[in-house]
Amino acid sequence: MLTRIDHIGIACFDLDRTVEFYRATYGFEVYHSEVNEEQGVREAMLRINGTDDGGASYLQLLEPTREDSAVGKWLAKNGEGVHHIAFGTADVDGDAEAVRGKGVRVLYDEPRTGSMGSRITFLHPKDCHGVLTELVTSAPPSADPSSAEH
């Protein structure tokens, strides 16, 4: 069951300058940052609020690490802006299978590693009325690297 907005993914050309915009304009601070080589992104998670299932909602600022990555290609075509939305679930495997069963293309056979040790998969935007949609199961608190190092 999808229970919350986990994050909104925002593509940018310059992560440091974009982080500074969100800090200076709204006061949002970086909760966690990492490079995900598999996805080809350098990213910063700005924590917006906690949610009643123990999760949280974030803005995920994404800078490509290579031009042929998903975000690199998208930026070249569209410029900066909202790239995807992500719904949080306790069971990304089960929910991905349920969605696949409804005829929506799920991009990965098995969920892959996402931000802060989460498990993620994506639904094809052409099957979701133009919205690239991600499903996320957060890492259990003990496995959350942000608890040791943000």
**Residues with a known catalytic role:** 7, 43, 60, 84, 134
According to DSSP, the residues that pair with 33 across neighbouring strands are 44
Nearest approach, Cβ of residue 79 and Co ion (Å): 19
Site residues for ligand V0V, 21-40, by CB under 6 A, read: 36, 39
Q: Which does 32 bind (CB under 5 to 8 A by kind): ligand V0V, Co ion, none?
A: none
CA distance 105 to 29: 35
Distance between CA 44 and CA 9 in Å, rounded?
10
Contact 136, 122 (CB under 8 A): no
For the chain, helix (H) and strand (E) counts, in that order, are: 3, 8
Map tokens 């900066």 to a residue.
80
Cα–Cα separations (whole angstroms), residue 14 to 45, 95, 137: 15, 34, 28
Which of ligand V0V, Co ion, none has residue 73 at its interface (CB below 5 to 8 Å by kind)?
ligand V0V
Pick the stretch among 18-26, 47-55, 69-77, 95-103 that binds ligand V0V (CB under 6 A): 69-77
**Which residues from 80-139 bind ligand V0V, rule CB under 6 A?**
83-84, 86, 107, 114-115, 118, 120, 122, 125-126, 130, 132, 134
Say how far apart CA 60 and CA 62 lie, in whole Å. Answer: 6
Q: Is 57 in the site for ligand V0V (CB under 6 A)?
A: no
State which residue, 24 or 68, has the beta carbon closest to ligand V0V: 68
Q: Given the rule CB under 6 A, which residues bind ligand V0V?
A: 9, 36, 39, 41, 60, 62, 70-71, 73-74, 83-84, 86, 107, 114-115, 118, 120, 122, 125-126, 130, 132, 134
